């Protein structure tokens, strides 16, 4: 399996006796799969429909091969997307976009280490609901609990064990703030490996839920009366001797490099939002008093800031970037983060003072983009970030996402009918 621009897993089942042939020749997929909407529409991105819907070649990465604990007799692995008949990687392939950003940090002698944290909701079927689903185990106040109190069917423990056996490096999980909402943490590792595991984690959680007859959704904010789901990334950088370069004798116990990295994230935050918050729905998670960021700021052990610096220092010194929501493609979110860190360190940017107190006062810092079109415009205008991520990828992503915005703006919602139809 491999990821499209949205972050959806695309795949093909191969009989095991045919695997040697697939290793030799790869599998052909229509390139337009990269540009297919969640509803199955093919978006007119350059190199897809206009070019006659040509192929890409996807080759299995056998080092990622692992048995599926919930599906006896089946193993899965990641695929690497290449141009047909060559070893050249697809420029708009999210895994290659991340690899490109990673190489720029490597030029500075830095090795980024990432630890993803992802939240999601679990739903049970409910034919009486307008959506067909209701929140699983929906009871108030089960924040940071374990056991059957907030998880009556044992979903979390079962999922943790499956993910452990799949080799994804999960560490722990808990019931989150919302009814039917859970969070599972993954080990810190090299940025590409962390993104691989986060991508496979999301696909696995959704598949495990399907085997239970349930829906697991990483949608940013699926319910009006509950908070959204985040994708937080803990990030540190090692030098060539394996030392954490974010630890230091400077202010706040952080190095100059750490402050430059923070400054880079703040400088490019409006553009980062397009990749960390990539849907129309994403921006309904933001706002004051949401525990999601709203302003472009940073703080010391402050969960109301966009960039939180956890209290540990030494080898554990790190940034926690809280901008992302769970609908983000892990490869693209982490790639954008590394690009911003690279630019901050390369350009020796200066960080503003850290946030003091509660971080929802717009007099203290600039506000993040309030909707997807604004974030897309910020990405399109950020030439430095585009230079790291690649012009072909950014052009494809912007075309794909602006089509999503246009389709939404033409769609009549239930809210509009309820608000206007009776009186107007």
> Does residue 173 share a domain with residue 49?
no
pLDDT of residue 132: 94
> Does residue 136 share a domain with residue 42?
no
Domain boundary among 49, 67, 90: 90
Q: Which two tokens stand for residue 48?
A: 């897809």
> Does residue 124 share a domain with residue 260?
yes
Tell me whether residue 286 is in a domain.
Answer: yes
Strand (E) or helix (H) holding 330: helix 330-346
> Does residue 111 share a domain with residue 86?
no
The CA distance from 225 to 170, in Å, is 29
Tell me whether residue 60 is in a domain.
Answer: yes
Tell me whether residue 422 is in a domain.
Answer: no
The CA distance from 312 to 303, in Å, is 15
Q: Is 75 exposed, middle or buried (0-12, 13-18, 19+ CB in 10 A)?
A: middle
Residue 218's nearest CA partner among 195, 202, 197 is: 202
Number of other residues whose CB lies within 10 A of the CB of residue 239:
13
Domain boundary among 57, 72, 90: 90
Greatest distance between any 2 Cα atoms in the chain: 70
Tell me whether residue 421 is in a domain.
Answer: no
> Does residue 156 share a domain with residue 75?
no
pLDDT of residue 291: 81
> Does residue 348 share a domain with residue 214?
yes
Q: Is 395 exposed, middle or buried (0-12, 13-18, 19+ CB in 10 A)?
A: middle
> Does residue 57 share a domain with residue 9?
yes
> Does residue 117 share a domain with residue 229?
yes
> Does residue 186 share a domain with residue 85?
no
pLDDT of residue 180: 95
Looking up residue 84, the CATH number of its domain turns out to be 3.10.20.70
The CA distance from 147 to 150, in Å, is 7
Domain boundary among 58, 90, 122: 90
Q: Are 32 and 55 in contact (CB under 8 A)?
A: no
pLDDT of residue 91: 87
> Does residue 12 share a domain with residue 128?
no
Residue 389's nearest CA partner among 334, 336, 323 is: 336
Tell me whether residue 95 is in a domain.
Answer: no
Tell me whether residue 419 is in a domain.
Answer: no
> Does residue 155 share a domain with residue 25?
no
Model pTM? 0.95
Exposure on the CB side of residue 94, measured as CA atoms within 13 A: 28
Indicate the number of domains in the chain.
Answer: 2
Q: What residue numbers bound the domain in which 50 lies? A: 2-90
Strand (E) or helix (H) holding 320: strand 319-321
DSSP assignment of 367-412: BPPSSHHHHHHHHHH-HHHHHHH-HHHHHHHHHHHHHHHHHHHHPP
> Does residue 174 share a domain with residue 39?
no
Tell me whether residue 290 is in a domain.
Answer: yes
Tell me whether residue 415 is in a domain.
Answer: no
Looking up residue 177, the CATH number of its domain turns out to be 3.30.590.10
Do strands 111-125 and 215-217 pair parallel, antiparallel, or not at all (unpaired)? Answer: antiparallel
Mean pLDDT by groups of 10 residues along the chain of 424 residues: 93 94 91 85 79 87 95 95 87 94 97 97 95 93 90 96 96 93 96 97 97 97 94 97 92 94 98 98 88 92 94 94 97 98 98 89 91 98 98 94 95 93 94
């Amino acid at each position: 399996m491999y990821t499209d621009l949205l972050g959806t897993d695309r795949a093909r089942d191969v009989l095991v006796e045919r695997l040697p042939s697939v290793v030799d020749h790869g599998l052909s997929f229509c390139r337009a799969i990269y540009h297919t909407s969640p509803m199955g529409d093919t978006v007119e991105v350059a190199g897809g429909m206009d070019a006659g819907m040509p192929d890409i070649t996807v080759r299995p990465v056998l080092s990622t091969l692992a048995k599926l604990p919930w599906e006896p007799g089946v193993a899965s692995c990641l695929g690497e997307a290449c141009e047909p008949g060559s070893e050249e990687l697809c420029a708009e392939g999210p895994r290659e976009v991340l690899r490109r950003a990673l190489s720029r940090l490597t030029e500075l002698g830095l090795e980024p280490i990432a630890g993803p944290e992802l939240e999601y909701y679990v739903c049970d079927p409910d034919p009486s609901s307008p959506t067909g689903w209701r929140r699983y185990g929906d009871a108030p106040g089960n924040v940071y609990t374990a056991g059957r109190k907030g998880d009556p069917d044992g979903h979390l423990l079962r999922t943790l064990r499956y993910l452990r056996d799949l080799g994804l490096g999960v560490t722990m999980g808990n019931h989150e703030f919302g009814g039917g909402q859970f969070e599972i943490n993954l080990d810190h590792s090299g940025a590409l490996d962390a993104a691989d595991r986060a991508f496979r984690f999301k696909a696995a959680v959704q598949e495990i839920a399907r085997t239970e007859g349930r829906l697991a959704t990483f949608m940013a904010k699926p319910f009006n009366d509950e908070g959204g789901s985040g994708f937080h990334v803990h990030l540190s950088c090692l030098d060539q001797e394996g030392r954490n370069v974010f630890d230091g004798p400077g202010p706040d116990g952080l190095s100059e490099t750490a402050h430059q990295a923070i400054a880079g994230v703040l400088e490019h935050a409006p553009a980062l939002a397009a990749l960390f918050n990539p849907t129309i729905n994403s921006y309904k998670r933001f706002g004051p008093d949401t525990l999601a960021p709203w302003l472009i700021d940073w703080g010391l052990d402050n969960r109301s800031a966009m960039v939180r610096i956890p209290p540990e220092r030494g080898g554990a010194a790190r940034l926690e970037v809280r901008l992302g929501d769970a609908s983000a493609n892990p490869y693209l979110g982490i790639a954008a983060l590394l690009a911003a860190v690279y630019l901050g360190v390369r350009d020796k940017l200066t960080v503003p003072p850290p946030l003091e107190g509660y971080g929802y006062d717009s007099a203290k810092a600039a506000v993040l983009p309030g909707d997807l079109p604004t974030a897309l415009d910020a990405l399109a205008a950020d030439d430095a970030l585009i230079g790291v991520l690649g012009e072909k990828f950014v052009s494809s992503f912007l075309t794909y996402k602006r089509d999503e915005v246009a389709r939404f703006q033409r769609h009549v919602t239930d809210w509009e009918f309820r608000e206007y139809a009776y009186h107007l």
